[in-house]
Amino acid sequence: MYPEEGGALPRFTFGPDGNRSGWANRYCTLPGSAARRPRLKESHNVMEQNFSIEERIDQGVPIIAVIGEIDVATAPQLRERLHGVIAEGRATVVLDLLGVTFLDSTALGVLVGALKRCRELGGELHVVVADARIKKIFEITGLNKVFPLVDALSDVGAP
């Protein structure tokens, strides 16, 4: 029975296929079409991220280069790599973020933790970043005053 004919609007329920069913799904049509509105199924596939960490030594200083997005999913990998290098006794580390396209608060937390560890050993965590969007994140959070930020690896200088 249609609502116009005195029937009540049924509440939405979920069928065995996970799709919502109810009055709107049964009677709403697309403009110019008598067909039912198409249903969108949720995809449970997780998007693969292009993320990598490379480590090298240049003049005795470790350089950790990150490519891709540093977020809640990838930050633990960066944390492990930074802590591993610092645990080897290397007080000064260069973090190359030239290939980073996104940085979230989890990533910033990892960087602050690594900076603290470096400074406890009398060193520094130099951050190389050229992307204006990534620099803006450091500026908004005030971390541009905490981290030594440079635009290129050649600008790091002798630690």
Q: Where in the chain is the domain with CATH 3.30.750.24?
A: 52-155
CB 99 within 8 A of CB 68: yes
Q: Is the pLDDT of residue 13 over 70?
A: no
pLDDT per residue over 95-112, tens digit each? 999 999 999 999 999 999
Q: What is the pLDDT of residue 50?
A: 86
pLDDT per residue over 110-144, tens digit each? 999 999 999 999 999 999 999 999 999 999 999 99
Q: What is the pLDDT of residue 41?
A: 43
- Three-state DSSP at 106 gives helix
Global pTM reads 0.68
Three-state secondary structure readout of 34-97: CCECCCCCCCCCCCCCCCEEEEEEECCEEEEEEEEEECCCCHHHHHHHHHHHHHCCCCCEEEEE
> At the fourth CATH level, which superfamily is domain 52-155?
STAS domain (3.30.750.24)
